[in-house]
Amino acid sequence: MIERVFITGANGMLGASVTREALKQGYKVKAQILPGTNTQVLAGLDIDIVEGNILDSTFLEEEMADCQYVINIAALTTIWPRRLGIIHEVNLKGVENIANFVQKYGYKRMIQIGTANSFDHGPKSNPGHEKNSYEAHQFKMDYMDSKYEAQCFLLGLHRTQNFPVIVVNPTYMIGPFDSGPTSGRMLIELYNNKLPGYAGGGKNFVYSKDVAVATINALHMGRLGECYIVGNENLYFGEMFQKASLVFNKPFKIKKFPGFAINMVGAINSLKAKMTGKAPKLSYSMAKMASVKQFYSPEKARKELLLPSTPIEEAISDCMSWYKENGYLA
């Protein structure tokens, strides 16, 4: 019998790749999307699309009844404003709802998509790993706090009730189907020569399709009750933008800005945003984070989930090709 996986948030950037990888590995897919949202990134796929909300228990009870696995990608990733009640509602209550029906229907596994920020980062010489504590509360963002709380809830269920969960914790993803655009916005601005400069911090960057492979592998690999940081290359922003410029075949011209200058711009932008109600491109919190060296080790996921390590240049190229094909670039 072909097994069926229920994928929430299937029409998002990661969801679209996870759905394709699930089909590639031989699973049937039931794809949850919010009512009225765009399904273009899922066009032509042999899947069942169901419209509903993970906060709706009646919807989940009906649609999860005929599946054996669930991958929960649906989440609010809003980082401005930093505090917003609906974020906890979706990112925590939604997870609790899904877990309830995982137990009711005796699912084989639940894969929860978390965030690498649920573990403290480190420098390149000693990058963050799954044994590190949660320190991102310092950023005072409901997104990070709620994802960590959901992770703790699920791991607690595993400890007390042997709940069949694995948490996949991606770093900063680059890849196609980013219809927001979200993570690829900075690449668009760099490509269009609209990126004024960069900060001294950095991140761990990973190809979204690699994250999808590890996520589907987690349906039959990995250890229950464990978290896996899914990432690849630790790069300072300057290094990342140099790689992107080479992919674009454009000269690398942007300059590094001092932290105090970026923080000042972020603070001014946040004040303007409060007055206008329009989200800033760079808030004060985002400016502070831009100077942090958020580096992580993906070694555990490479060993236990067979996480691929595609060069970030390929991820950038795939991302930009998708943007070009879908009219995002001038």
Q: What are the pLDDT digits (tens) for 217-242?
A: 999 999 999 999 999 999 999 999 99
Cα 59 to Cα 311: distance, rounded to the nearest angstrom? 40
Give the global pTM. Answer: 0.95
Separation between Cα atoms, residue 164 and residue 258, nearest integer Å:
46
> Where on the phi/psi map is residue 153: left (φ > 0), alpha (ψ -120 to 50), or beta?
alpha
Pairing of strands 28-33, 4-8: parallel
User: pLDDT tens across 50-71, in order?
Assistant: 999 999 999 999 999 999 999 9
CATH superfamily, with its number, for domain 4-239+290-324:
NAD(P)-binding Rossmann-like Domain (3.40.50.720)
How many Å apart are CA 241 and CA 247, to the nearest integer?
10
Strands (E), 34-146: 48-51, 69-72, 109-113
- Quick one: average pLDDT of 174-190? 95
| 211 Cβ contact partners less than 8 Å away, ≥ 6 residues apart | 14, 17, 18, 168, 170, 173, 230
Residue 243 scores a pLDDT above 90: yes
pLDDT(266) > 80: no
User: Predicted confidence band at 305 (pLDDT cuts at 50, 70, 90)?
Assistant: very high
Number of Cβ within a 10 Å radius of residue 101: 20
Cα torsion 316, 169, 306, 216: sign: negative
What three-state secondary structure class fits 180?
Answer: coil
Residue 79 has pLDDT above 70, yes or no: no
Q: Is 72 helix (H, G, I), strand (E, B) or coil?
A: strand
How far apart CA 274 and CA 279 sit, in angstroms, is 9
Other Cβ atoms within 10 Å of 82 Cβ, number:
19
